[in-house]
Chain A
């Protein structure tokens, strides 16, 4: 069963002067244990689709089903808190919280006791190949690759099987990009996550289990490995 299913989703940006249709009847499905890549030109609707999948907004038409339940019938805050994790191109870490606090934040939101959350954070930091010493540091003191790996650690701390990544390597050099992609692949294949990556990088797309191409707000094609 698909963890996430997109059914005929249409999304329009409406303003006083114009209406832009960003998505026009997108239909697709995502399963756990797979690494998906969502590629397309700028303005093709990738980020909009990611935002809808992340529960940051609701589709104008159609629906997005998470494990068979439409997001429009769910509390979006709770959905974001418990069911979906997002990694952004610009890392989006709390600059005034330490790495440990950044990672424990989602857990504490869910009510995980502090001590347990800190132990988990330590484990996750190791999981993303970072030393324990970074736990006490602030994000501003880390390199871009390290920050992105902290962001991934925070994402997987959410105990959700759906992980979305918006250009996760956009701000990283090749070496760091590879490490992050490896991490995401490992999460999909070893830990059973459904990882959906929005990217321009065809190399990443080439390593994905399934690639969705987007054009003018529609899925223009799908390419599945093997």
Chain B
């Protein structure tokens, strides 16, 4: 024990008796301690924050299919059904991808809630009804029976005791009955609330039940009295009630991740969400919207009875029968969803949810994707997107929040690695200085019988005397500085997390904010200190071991070599160059090492600058080659068509000169093919007059039927039309002399299917019947349009395109449409930017033109969206790489500078006896310093020259950055030589000459 105490005491004394050296290393270690512990803590804090972000933010991907029926939400799109069948494997692979946490198909089903009678317009068919009608007589003028509603078996509206005009498509029903004046009839059908002021009821045969053997209900049947029971009609009325009072039911395995909740359009206002156990077991609990609870007059803890559609979820058409009512306890009440006031949420347990037989609308479902793997997911989803599927990401701002933090994390890692590397180098040097240079002391101790343990204790004390206070003070100082570091980090993160995302598709998701909470703890600083101290101890033991193994033989050889070198050096003191060359020749190994180092560093710098240039070039390429499209849209950012876009806003934006192309269009009305009025060869054909509907009901019916005919759209470009925004552009076959930017008034481009169906040839003039409403008045007429093109693809032939200048001509015997179009604007506006590099200017131009971005709340809301997601992602990725590479290069440059400084210092320092001898021989100090600096710079310059030569041989030319870096290397080398020579030349010559090796 006493021996150890002696060793420790002597170790401390030995350290304190070299105060300059000890203080220098202590200060360096304090600095490294501060930096290392700060890097450690930043690393820990950022990783903690990233973990918090991962839990706080949920990335949800909305999966949709842009099919023929898009954007209808209540119809079954056959194209979607077919696409799901063809791409089943791809979809299954995507939903089973490791990046996907959960996949919730749009498992909408319907449930009947006992006691709920819906009166809103969101029901399946508010106009269907089963009535008892007393017929007053036949109205010849209206071509319909006039009657009074005597009893309402079912109606979505309160229709009792109202006059009604009854029409049937047939005068007698299937049973051969005929309608007669002055009798009661039970009728099924639907009210018709078109543009007329009359209440029409269209009695029609209705079927329900299984498709294979449906139950048929005749359009009317006589009744003795209005209240007379009729099982068939009463069953139908009950079914209608169930169907119209039914609500959407959404089974979910994560309520908070449902898009409306995720996007904070809905929230739990009372009670709670489902628990994990409820999700797991599929408990009989539910969350109802407040619109429903207020109607049902119930609250949290109450029970509601639900009967589900037993048809497997085919929401309305399949609601043929319902299951027995079961009680469900209300655990939470959520705010109302404006798009669906009566949506009920139930926990989805595996296998418990009814699976719909086909998807209704265009939404396939949603996926919860691992936040950090969204890019990988989208990459895998890309092949499906080429076939009409669309995946919209809602990340709640995760990307923006995390992106700068990831950069900080990586930079802190690089910084930490550099700090640790430097710390290792300093500790290594410190151990060398304090231990290996005390070999002699170790030898004396051993000779005096101290034992190896005692020597090790002595050396450990020497090392600890410097490193312990240095590291502990450094790490403690780091812990005091942590608040400042975190403040700087938070500021940077907040700044970096707010890029300009006006009009960007990346900003569709609602943004949540998670504060950066510092994760600094004493444990982390203690760990950093522990690591450094462990390194110090390891180096101490290593050098102590080396020291104990040192042999006298080696020392003798070294001494002899030094004497010879000093003697040789003394004979050549002429000119600097001569001295330098002679000196280099005398020590070929040292010279070669310095030359090779300089050459290698030069080539290395060349490689670094070349790689950085390549990154910048790639970024410039991305900016130049990227094509950014955009479109006017609705408040949700989904719609491309059926909008109302200000014509003046469009014109201003187009005039900004930032667009490579744009397309505007207007929906006119629907067209019905009537015949070929003239052939391409000029032959005119006589066509019969179209049969115009007579009577209000016939006109209403005609208008309704016209909605099934192709749309007539005026557009400035067929291929650029918004209808094809999400799909591949159509292949258009043009008549000679016409092209995509077509004009010419009464011309049109028709779908191939229409051409084939009616045998239309390019150049033929086709007569179409159209129907429009102007200020409530129906207007039906014909127009002749010359077919100048046919197209295939896109929307399966549902549109006839005409040029925008159509309305400026008197084409349809009226200028209604022209007035309409000019006063109201466009229904679609799509555009392509001239250059992705002008993205910011484009954003400003959109704002200046009168557009606004989603979420800005500006008025008037002419929303626009730039499809810049892929571009921004690519640019961000490349910029991030450039920053990372920049930081790494910076670290490498610092290391190269340190290496240059250290090696140059050692090169001069190792020649102390030579310097001393020159001093002893009376050489002036300035001359000695000049000689050494000249020699070192000459040597380094030669090496750099060799490096450039090698770089040129490798096929590269040095760039300005390369030259500057190499120059800096040379400068540091020279500076280090100068400082070292100045230091050595001031020492006592005698002391240097007699100093033991």
Bound-state Cα–Cα, A82 to B3, Å: 14
Taking a contact as CB atoms closer than 8 A, the residue among B2, B3, B441 that contacts A94 in the complex is B441
Stretch at the interface among A25-33, A103-111, A189-197: A103-111
Q: Is the CB of A101 within 8 A of B10?
A: yes
Residues of A close to B438: CB separation below 8 A:
96
Residues of B close to A93: CB separation below 8 A:
444
Residues of A close to B18: CB separation below 8 A:
96
Q: Is the CB of B440 within 8 A of A109?
A: no
Q: Is the CB of B17 within 8 A of A81?
A: no
A92 proximal to B (CB < 8 A): yes
B239 proximal to A (CB < 8 A): no
Give per-residue flags for A115-139: 1 if the beta carbon is below 8 A from chain B beta carbons, else 0: 0000000000000000000000010
Whether A111 contacts B13 in the complex (CB less than 8 A), given A86-B447, A92-B440, comes out as no
- A82 — nearest CB in chain B belongs to which residue? B449
A224 proximal to B (CB < 8 A): no
Q: Is the CB of B13 within 8 A of A96?
A: yes
Residues of B close to A158: CB separation below 8 A:
448
Please report whether the interface of chain B is mostly helix, strand, loop or mixed according to DSSP.
helix
Q: Is the CB of A77 within 8 A of B13?
A: no
A141 proximal to B (CB < 8 A): no
Q: Is the CB of B449 within 8 A of A81?
A: yes
Q: Is the CB of A81 within 8 A of B448?
A: yes
Q: Could you tell me the distance in whole angstroms from the C-beta of B506 to the nearest C-beta in chain A?
A: 66
- A138 — nearest CB in chain B belongs to which residue? B17
Bound-state Cα–Cα, A94 to B438, Å: 9
Taking a contact as CB atoms closer than 8 A, the residue among A95, A96, A106 that contacts B448 in the complex is A106
Bound-state Cα–Cα, A105 to B3, Å: 10
Give per-residue flags for B438-464: 1 if the beta carbon is below 8 A from chain A beta carbons, else 0: 101101101111110010000000000
Instruction: Point out which of A92, A94, A106 has the most chain B C-beta atoms below 10 A from its C-beta.
Output: A94
B517 proximal to A (CB < 8 A): no
Residues of B close to A198: CB separation below 8 A:
none
A54 proximal to B (CB < 8 A): yes
B91 proximal to A (CB < 8 A): no
Residues of A close to B448: CB separation below 8 A:
80-81, 105-106, 109, 158
Q: Is the CB of B14 within 8 A of A96?
A: yes
A58 proximal to B (CB < 8 A): no
For window 1-44 of B, CB contacts with A under 8 Å fall at 2-3, 6, 10, 13-14, 17-18
Q: Is the CB of A54 within 8 A of B13?
A: no
Taking a contact as CB atoms closer than 8 A, the residue among A79, A82, A86, A97 that contacts B13 in the complex is A97
Bound-state Cα–Cα, A78 to B451, Å: 8
- B16 — nearest CB in chain A belongs to which residue? A96
- A55 — nearest CB in chain B belongs to which residue? B449
Q: Is the CB of B2 within 8 A of A111?
A: yes
- A111 — nearest CB in chain B belongs to which residue? B2
Count A/B pairs, Cβ under 8 Å.
58
Q: Is the CB of B450 within 8 A of A81?
A: yes
Whether A108 contacts B444 in the complex (CB less than 8 A), given A77-B449, A96-B17, A101-B13, comes out as no
Give per-residue flags for A170-181: 1 if the beta carbon is below 8 A from chain B beta carbons, else 0: 000000000000
A56 proximal to B (CB < 8 A): yes
Residues of A close to B10: CB separation below 8 A:
94, 97, 101, 105
Instruction: Point out which of B17, B444, B448 has the most chain A C-beta atoms below 10 A from its C-beta.
Output: B448
Whether A80 contacts B449 in the complex (CB less than 8 A), given A96-B18, A97-B14, comes out as yes
For window 138-167 of A, CB contacts with B under 8 Å fall at 138, 158
Instruction: Point out which of A79, A92, A95, A105 has the most chain B C-beta atoms below 10 A from its C-beta.
Output: A95
Bound-state Cα–Cα, A109 to B451, Å: 10
Whether A78 contacts B449 in the complex (CB less than 8 A), given A94-B441, A108-B2, comes out as yes
Residues of B close to A94: CB separation below 8 A:
10, 14, 441, 444
Give per-residue flags for A83-104: 1 if the beta carbon is below 8 A from chain B beta carbons, else 0: 0001010001111110001000
- A56 — nearest CB in chain B belongs to which residue? B447
Give per-residue flags for B419-450: 1 if the beta carbon is below 8 A from chain A beta carbons, else 0: 00000000000000000001011011011111
Residues of B close to A86: CB separation below 8 A:
447
- B3 — nearest CB in chain A belongs to which residue? A109
Bound-state Cα–Cα, A86 to B444, Å: 10
Residues of B close to A92: CB separation below 8 A:
440, 443-444, 447
Taking a contact as CB atoms closer than 8 A, the residue among A80, A95, A97, A138 that contacts B440 in the complex is A95
Instruction: Point out which of B440, B444, B449 has the most chain A C-beta atoms below 10 A from its C-beta.
Output: B449
Whether A95 contacts B6 in the complex (CB less than 8 A), given A54-B447, A80-B448, comes out as no
Residues of A close to B447: CB separation below 8 A:
54, 56, 80, 86, 88, 92
Instruction: Point out which of A54, A88, A96, A111 has the most chain B C-beta atoms below 10 A from its C-beta.
Output: A96
Whether A77 contacts B451 in the complex (CB less than 8 A), given A96-B18, A108-B6, A109-B3, comes out as yes
Q: Is the CB of B444 within 8 A of A77?
A: no
Q: Is the CB of B450 within 8 A of A77?
A: yes
Residues of A close to B446: CB separation below 8 A:
56, 80
Q: Could you tell me the distance in whole angstroms from the C-beta of A64 to the nearest C-beta in chain B?
A: 16
Instruction: Point out which of A54, A76, A78, A80 has the most chain B C-beta atoms below 10 A from its C-beta.
Output: A80
Bound-state Cα–Cα, A54 to B3, Å: 21
Q: Could you tell me the distance in whole angstroms from the C-beta of B20 to the nearest C-beta in chain A?
A: 13
Bound-state Cα–Cα, A93 to B438, Å: 11
Residues of A close to B17: CB separation below 8 A:
96, 138
Residues of B close to A56: CB separation below 8 A:
446-447
Bound-state Cα–Cα, A77 to B449, Å: 4
Q: Could you tell me the distance in whole angstroms from the C-beta of B548 to the nearest C-beta in chain A?
A: 13
Q: Is the CB of B441 within 8 A of A96?
A: yes
Bound-state Cα–Cα, A76 to B17, Å: 31
Bound-state Cα–Cα, A222 to B13, Å: 47
Bound-state Cα–Cα, A101 to B17, Å: 13
Bound-state Cα–Cα, A95 to B18, Å: 11
- B438 — nearest CB in chain A belongs to which residue? A96
Bound-state Cα–Cα, A32 to B448, Å: 21
- A108 — nearest CB in chain B belongs to which residue? B6
Instruction: Point out which of B17, B440, B443, B447 has the most chain A C-beta atoms below 10 A from its C-beta.
Output: B447
Residues of B close to A111: CB separation below 8 A:
2
Taking a contact as CB atoms closer than 8 A, the residue among A54, A82, A97, A109 that contacts B450 in the complex is A109
Q: Could you tell me the distance in whole angstroms from the C-beta of A8 to the nearest C-beta in chain B?
A: 26
Q: Is the CB of A95 within 8 A of B449?
A: no
For window 44-95 of A, CB contacts with B under 8 Å fall at 54-56, 76-82, 86, 88, 92-95
Whether A109 contacts B441 in the complex (CB less than 8 A), given A80-B449, A81-B448, A97-B13, comes out as no
Give per-residue flags for B817-846: 1 if the beta carbon is below 8 A from chain A beta carbons, else 0: 000000000000000000000000000000
Q: Could you tell me the distance in whole angstroms from the C-beta of B99 to the nearest C-beta in chain A?
A: 60
Residues of B close to A80: CB separation below 8 A:
446-449
Residues of B close to A77: CB separation below 8 A:
449-451
- B454 — nearest CB in chain A belongs to which residue? A109
Residues of A close to B13: CB separation below 8 A:
96-97, 101
- A88 — nearest CB in chain B belongs to which residue? B447
Bound-state Cα–Cα, A76 to B448, Å: 10
Give per-residue flags for B601-645: 1 if the beta carbon is below 8 A from chain A beta carbons, else 0: 000000000000000000000000000000000000000000000
Whether A109 contacts B6 in the complex (CB less than 8 A), given A80-B448, A82-B449, comes out as yes
Bound-state Cα–Cα, A106 to B17, Å: 21
Residues of B close to A106: CB separation below 8 A:
448-449
Q: Could you tell me the distance in whole angstroms from the C-beta of A170 to the nearest C-beta in chain B?
A: 14
Q: Could you tell me the distance in whole angstroms from the C-beta of A59 to the nearest C-beta in chain B?
A: 18
- A106 — nearest CB in chain B belongs to which residue? B448
Residues of A close to B449: CB separation below 8 A:
55, 76-82, 106, 109
- B2 — nearest CB in chain A belongs to which residue? A111
- B450 — nearest CB in chain A belongs to which residue? A109
Bound-state Cα–Cα, A95 to B13, Å: 11
Bound-state Cα–Cα, A146 to B441, Å: 19
Q: Could you tell me the distance in whole angstroms from the C-beta of A161 to the nearest C-beta in chain B?
A: 16
Listed by A's residue number, 14 A-B pairs whose Cβ atoms lie within 8 Å are A56-B446, A77-B450, A80-B446, A92-B440, A95-B440, A96-B13, A96-B18, A96-B441, A101-B13, A105-B10, A106-B448, A109-B6, A109-B448, A109-B454
Sample of 4 further A-B pairs with CB below 8 A, known A77-B449, A88-B447, A138-B17? A55-B449, A77-B451, A92-B443, A94-B444
**Nearest 5 pairs between A and B by C-beta?**
A81-B449, A80-B449, A96-B14, A77-B451, A77-B449
